[in-house]
């Protein structure tokens, strides 16, 4: 690996993904919950070329050999986070259910073949605590969750058990292990829908009109109560922050009920794609932009503890807006013979028509700004899936496209 350092791993899908129906909780070939070393990345890729006028915002020296635990590392966003931390030289441990889709970026990138990748459910409090204690993390990123709104309507109890109780078990394990910094990933859907006409700010009322959104709002309340009772700045060594990101773009997402994966499936099958809510505005952004924000916050949280222990929005600029229909149109423009898009007239759960995040706090206090516009993010995402499809759905094509995105984003190191 270009940045040097060693890697550890043990295995739950997240980011977002907790896993499908809680299935796949069979024993891992490796002992779940144990940290073990991973082979170093080859370092064969070139160093990133920084966008004009922008320095890469993260500090590679901070992350080199840093012990990091990720829950939900087998999901889409979790897999990108593993790769980003590998490129920066961190020592990564994972805790997750198996990858929630087939194919998955986790499998295509070969992360499923790394030694020490174990299996675990965040609802298994003893196993989770054992993983935290045995891996001795300096930073935890908690991504494991049941992240799909429509599935939460079918499985509300499991959604709340996973999202709320799973977070509670993680916080308690981190508290007893005195982990210095914890970043808990919630959602832009944690806000009360009555606020309208402007992007949501971190201090706006929390709410949720469906089990998923309500569970994420509850996680925010849970974290804040634990922070005030047990964590920094109240004197404890552990500092906990929550992060609320928008709709993430990027290659390797194969989840159900997500716009770009649905469009890609339609293109590959030659079938029309039904758009549930084509006029809805969402905060679209590339996965590398969001994850860079999470890591930048973690750096500050670890160094300054209580000063950054609060909630943070990470979203695109307010003038970088596209509707669902416009995103679908731009995806189609980048893919020859793309299938027809149609409005889905069936009855669906109520959704917000306009959802945006005010990221002023992250921009002013962390210096975080998105590096890629939504149009650039869409273009790169389409290119990833086209290259993967034209390469026969191979892992090599996925690795090449992912490496190219890391290079062009300016990441100083190779994730493979």
Q: Write out pLDDT tens, residues 144-170.
A: 999 988 899 999 999 999 999 999 999
Please determine, for residue 291, whether its predicted confidence score (pLDDT) is greater than 50. Answer: yes
**Position 208 in a domain:** yes
Residue 97 binned pLDDT confidence (cut-offs 50, 70, 90): very high
* pLDDT at residue number 354: 85
* pLDDT at residue number 41: 38
* pLDDT at residue number 300: 97
**Position 213 in a domain:** yes
**Position 332 in a domain:** no
* pLDDT at residue number 12: 35
**Position 384 in a domain:** no
Rounded to an integer, the average pLDDT of 202-221 is: 96
* pLDDT at residue number 273: 87
What is the tens place of the pLDDT at every residue in 299-355? 999 999 889 999 999 999 888 889 999 999 999 999 877 777 777 666 666 667 789
**Position 86 in a domain:** yes
* pLDDT at residue number 42: 36
The total number of structural domains in the chain stands at 1
Please determine, for residue 92, whether its predicted confidence score (pLDDT) is greater than 60. Answer: yes
Q: For position 395, which CATH number holds?
A: 3.40.50.720
**Position 415 in a domain:** no
Q: Could you tell me the residue range of the domain that residue 24 belongs to?
A: 7-248+285-321+350-374+389-409
What is the tens place of the pLDDT at every residue in 13-26? 554 333 322 222 22
What is the tens place of the pLDDT at every residue in 361-374? 999 999 999 999 99
* pLDDT at residue number 338: 78
The chain-wide mean pLDDT, for the chain, equals 85
* pLDDT at residue number 54: 72
Residue 205 binned pLDDT confidence (cut-offs 50, 70, 90): very high
What is the tens place of the pLDDT at every residue in 36-73? 333 333 333 333 334 545 789 999 999 999 999 999 99
* pLDDT at residue number 188: 94
3-state SS string over the chain?
A: CCCCCCEEECCCEECCCCCCCCCCCCCCCCCCCCCEEECCCCCCCCCCCCCCCCCCCCCHHHHCCCEEEEECECCHHHHHHHHHHHHCCCEEEEECCCCCCCCCHHHHCCHHHCCCCCCCCCCCHHHHHHHHHHHCCCEEEECECCCCHHHHHHCHHHHHHHHHHHHHHHHHHHHHHCCCEEEEECCHHHECCCCCCCCECCCCCECCCCHHHHHHHHHHHHHHHHHHHCCECCCCCCEEEEEEECEEECCCCCCCCCHHHHHHHHHHHCCCEEECCCCCEECEEEHHHHHHHHHHHHHHHHHHHHHHCCEEEECCCCCCCEEHHHHHHHHHHCCCCCCCEEECCCCCCCCCCECCECCHHHHHHHCCCCCCCHHHHHHHHHHHHHHHHHCCCCHHHHHHHHHHHHHHHCCCCCCC
Q: What's the pTM value of the predicted model, to 2 decimals?
A: 0.87
Please determine, for residue 260, whether its predicted confidence score (pLDDT) is greater than 80. Answer: yes
Residue 196 binned pLDDT confidence (cut-offs 50, 70, 90): low
Task: Give the rounded percent of residues in the chain with a pLDDT score beyond 90.
Answer: 70
**Position 396 in a domain:** yes
**Position 326 in a domain:** no
Please determine, for residue 193, whether its predicted confidence score (pLDDT) is greater than 80. Answer: yes
């Amino acid at each position: 690996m270009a940045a040097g350092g060693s890697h550890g791993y043990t295995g739950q899908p997240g980011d977002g993904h907790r896993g499908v129906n809680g299935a796949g909780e069979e024993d891992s070939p490796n002992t779940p919950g144990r940290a073990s070393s991973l082979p170093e990345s080859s370092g064969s890729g070139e160093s990133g070329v920084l966008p004009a006028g922008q320095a890469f915002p993260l500090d590679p020296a901070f992350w080199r050999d840093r012990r990091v635990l990720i829950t939900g590392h087998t999901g889409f966003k979790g897999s990108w986070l593993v790769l980003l931390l590998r490129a920066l030289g961190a020592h990564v441990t994972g805790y997750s259910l198996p990858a929630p889709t087939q194919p998955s970026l986790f499998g295509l990138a070969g992360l499923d073949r790394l030694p020490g990748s174990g299996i675990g459910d965040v609802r298994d409090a003893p196993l989770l605590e054992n993983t935290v204690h045995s891996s001795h993390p300096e930073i935890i990123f908690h991504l494991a969750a049941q992240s799909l709104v429509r599935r939460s309507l079918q499985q509300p109890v499991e959604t709340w058990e996973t999202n709320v109780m799973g977070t509670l078990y993680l916080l308690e394990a981190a508290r007893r292990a005195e982990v210095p910094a914890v970043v808990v990933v919630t959602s832009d859907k944690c806000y009360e829908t009555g606020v309208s006409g402007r992007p949501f700010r971190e201090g706006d009322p929390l709410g949720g009109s469906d089990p998923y959104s309500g569970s994420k709002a509850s996680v925010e309340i849970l974290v804040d109560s634990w922070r005030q009772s047990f964590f920094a700045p109240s004197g404890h060594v552990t500092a906990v922050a929550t992060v609320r990101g928008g709709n993430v773009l990027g290659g390797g997402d194969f989840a159900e009920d997500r716009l770009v994966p649905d469009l890609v499936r339609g293109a590959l099958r030659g079938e029309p794609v039904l758009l549930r809510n084509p006029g809805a505005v969402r905060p679209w952004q590339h996965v590398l932009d969001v994850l860079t924000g999470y890591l930048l916050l973690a750096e500050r949280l670890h160094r300054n503890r209580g000063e950054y222990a609060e909630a943070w929005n990470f979203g695109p600029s307010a003038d970088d807006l596209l509707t669902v229909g416009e995103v679908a149109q731009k995806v189609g423009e980048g893919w020859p013979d793309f299938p027809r898009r149609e409005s889905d007239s069936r009855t669906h759960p109520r959704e917000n028509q306009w959802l945006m995040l005010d990221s002023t706090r992250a921009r002013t206090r962390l210096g975080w700004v998105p590096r890629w516009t939504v149009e650039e993010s869409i273009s790169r995402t389409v290119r990833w899936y086209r290259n993967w499809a034209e390469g026969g759905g191979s892992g090599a094509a996925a690795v090449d496209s992912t490496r190219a995105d890391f290079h062009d984003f300016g990441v100083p190191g190779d994730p493979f």
